[in-house]
Amino acid sequence: MRRLQIGRRPLYQGLFFTACLLAVYILCYQPLQEEVAQQREIAAGQQQELAEVEHFLQLHPDMNSFRGELDRKSAAISSMLPDQMEVGPFMAAIEQSALQSKVALRGMKPGAVVSGSICAELPVEVTVEGGYFDLLAFLQGVEALPRCVHVRKMQIEKKNTQLSCKLLLVIYADEEKIPEMQ
């Protein structure tokens, strides 16, 4: 049998070719694959955002009505927590609630504005007299006010055939938007 002899030159050429392939793989192919993987992640995120936008558009096909809905909700929030204390309109609403519920409004005394951690507070002491169901209707009227009102303290006493109710109501305003508070 005859032995096949390979010269050194083809062996060196094969080694050189293998080294070139390895260099191309390490220097070109791997970084490109990493870049492709990053681009696929970016594309997946953008596809997710697109799906969310499409879903939003399906829920709100008419942007003008959606803007109107946002404006109504913003106005409702602003009425609950206004930029100003607006004590006058609040006292007028309390008076109106007292008239509607047929209780006698004996007094209203606003306190000093207290700076809170989130919003400014104004305590208002209100005294009313009336029957049980009239007082209940008054409290329900106060609760139904568009402004955020908290009954902090309530004291009820019987006076003859009527009940006298002394309330400490607290109203709030957005402290960041009140110029004199800053």
CA distance 142 to 170: 11
Per residue in 69-123, pLDDT (tens digit) is 888 888 877 777 776 777 888 899 999 999 999 999 999 999 888 887 778 888 9
Residue 182's pLDDT is 37
- Contact at 8 Å (CB) between 143 and 94? no
Residues for the chain: how many in total?
182
Residue 181's pLDDT band, with cuts at 50, 70 and 90, is very low
Cα–Cα dist 136/122, whole Å: 23
- Whether domain 82-181 has CATH 3.40.605.10: the reply is no
Dist CA 93 CA 159 (whole Å)? 26
